[in-house]
Structure formats: structure tokens, C-alpha cells
Amino acid sequence: MRELRHLIEPEDFTLAELEEVVDYGLDMFENPAKYSDACKGKILASLFFEPSTRTKFSFDAAMLRLGGGLIGFADANTSSTKKGESLGDTIKVMGYYSDIVVMRHPKEGAPKLASKYSSVPIINGGDGGHQHPTQTLTDLITIKKFKGQIEGHTVAFCGDLKYGRTVHSLIRTLARFNTKKFILISPEELALPNALKRQLKENFDLEIKEVRYIEEVIEEIDVLYMTRIQKERFFNEEDYLRLKNSYILDNDKITLAKKDMIIMHPLPRVNEISPEVDDDDRAVYFEQSQLGVYVRMALICKLLEVGPYVRG
């Protein structure tokens, strides 16, 4: 019998497994035709209880490019959740209708709970301010493609490090991949949670530098990871309005940056990167969202043990 695996947080996979998914993703990007039937006859269900553009549609595109089919909802108001159905019941039934489920939920821990009821693999497409492991895979494939390797870079995170789940998942994973230095750029109110900082310091041999402004550190950075201020997670509108334009990266601010620095962003962007930066060779955020399709193809194959993951 196939072992049932889920991806709820990046720690569910070993480093070797993460890197293998990235490498198959790169091969799928180069040679998509090789994999066009890998998921023939399989169905992906996507259950999105929170808004999404990239995560939802990149999973759809990934499954279609693998020859599979799709069911699901992008608005929980159109599902029986609206009638009061529990998550457990919804998930049990989705296991009869599909082979693999991706879900996004505003409550931290909801995908973990879902995995307890599920007879098929569950992929966490983002749970509240907690984790976003498939964005981490997207970020890893981008770093590997543009910087040649995942390990050893000076990585700066800028913006909402408090609520940004993409940051929480990626920083833990890059620490496991032997990153030696993180630079955290944020207003004090949006700093990386202390518990996470402590966990990184206690478990890994790495340096963490915290600053308020990008200009203070721009020359040191290999990978600059910009993030959106997470409006929907603020408790009051005033705080959001005060902090929303904390960072606006423009051509002026990157004049002193390394020529081979890369600028990433999980998207959507609001104001934090001025559109003039899009034309700079160092801006890779649109390529990043494209690569997200291919790394998700590799992930689906892994969890379903199809394509390159067929057992001999």
C-alpha cells in the first residue's frame, strides 16, 4: 500500500526530498512534454476558504499540465461550509471524489486537522499567518535557478515579517539549508515573531541582523525577499494605514546592490516594489510565480507517486 504523505509544513520533507522536488520541477520547466500524462485519470480538489490567485491557479495549471482533472471551490460561500458542515466531514468526502487535496484556510492549523480525516494527500496552500510550504518550494526553485544553489546566501526579508506566512516557512527552510546570514528589515511592530527568532538562533549556526531601512544593508544582500503588508491580519485599520507604505523599493534604492542580487516577492504586490524595478535584470518575481507551476507539478507527482516518482 502507498504510504499516505501530506505537505502541511516544510519540515514534513527532508532536505533531500525538498531538493529533489525542486530538481524535478526544474526538469518539468525545461521538458514539460515528458510529463504531460503523468497524472492521467487523477483528480486534484482545491478547497480555498481564503482568496488566492497564484496558489489556486498554479495548482490548477500544474494538474492540467500533468494530464489530470480538477474539482473544487475558490469561494467557501459556494460550498456546504456555508450550511455549517465541519471541515472533517468535507475532507472525508473529498477523499472519495479526488486523489489529492490542496486547501487554504484562514485558521492556523486547519490543514493539519484536515490531514487527520483525510484518505488522500493534503497540501497546505496557506493557513492564516502560519505556514505556506508550496510558496517555499516556489522560492527554493527560484533561488536554485537564478543563484545556482540554495545554500550559503545572505538573504534579506523585508516588510511584514510578523504576519507573512511565506516568510515564516521560507526562513525556517533556508536555515535548514545552511544559510549563514539573514537580514530582517521591518518596522518594529512587524518584526519576525520572537519565538521563531529564538528557534532559529538555538537550532542553527547563523547570524541574524535586524534593521529598519533597506538602504542600511543593500550592498550585502544576495537574495532580497520583499513582502506585502498583510492588511487582512491587522486588528485595526489605523495601524495598517500607518504601516502600509513602510517600504517602496525603487531603482534608486538598488543602485548600490550587488549586480547578481535577485529580488523576489511571493506576490501579490501592493506598493512595496515600484513597477520601474520590473525592468531590472535582478527582478525575478514574475519568473518566480511561473516556476511555482512546475515545482507544484513535481510535488503532486511526489505525493501521488506518479511520473518520476513511480516506484520501480
- Residues contributing to the site for ligand NCD (CB under 6 A): 54-55, 126, 132, 135, 165-166, 228, 266-267
| Nearest residue (CB) to ligand NCD, 246 versus 307 | 246
Amino acid (one-letter) located at 43:
I
- The sign of the torsion formed by the CA atoms of 181, 183, 188, 190 equals negative
296 catalytic residue (yes or no) = no
Q: How far is the CB of 275 from ligand NCD (least distance, A)?
A: 17
55 catalytic residue (yes or no) = yes
Which candidate, 59, 67, 69, places its Cα nearest to that of 125?
59
Q: How far apart are alpha carbons 106 and 50 in whole angstroms?
A: 6
54 catalytic residue (yes or no) = yes
Q: How far is the CB of 169 from ligand NCD (least distance, A)?
A: 9
| Nearest residue (CB) to ligand NCD, 103 versus 267 | 267
Beta strands in the chain (DSSP E): 43-48, 69-73, 100-105, 122-127, 154-158, 181-185, 207-211, 223-226, 262-264
| Nearest residue (CB) to ligand NCD, 72 versus 126 | 126
Q: How far is the CB of 24 from ligand NCD (least distance, A)?
A: 21
Q: Which of 42, 56, 65, 104 is an active site residue?
A: 104
Q: How far is the CB of 292 from ligand NCD (least distance, A)?
A: 8
Q: Which of 6, 42, 130, 132 is an active site residue?
A: 132
242 catalytic residue (yes or no) = no
Distance set, CA 183 to CA 76, 152, 206, 249 (Å)? 38, 14, 11, 16
Q: Which of 2, 83, 259, 311 is an active site residue?
A: 83
| Nearest residue (CB) to ligand NCD, 42 versus 162 | 162
Q: Which of 54, 56, 105, 153 is an active site residue?
A: 54
Q: How far is the CB of 228 from ligand NCD (least distance, A)?
A: 4
Q: How far apart are alpha carbons 106 and 80 in whole angstroms?
A: 17
| Nearest residue (CB) to ligand NCD, 121 versus 159 | 159
Q: How far apart are alpha carbons 43 and 16 in whole angstroms?
A: 27
Query: Angle between the 133-147 and 15-30 helix axes, to the nearest 10 degrees?
Result: 70
104 catalytic residue (yes or no) = yes
Which candidate, 170, 134, 196, 131, places its Cα nearest to that of 264?
170
Residues annotated as catalytic (active site), given as ranges: 54-55, 83, 104, 132
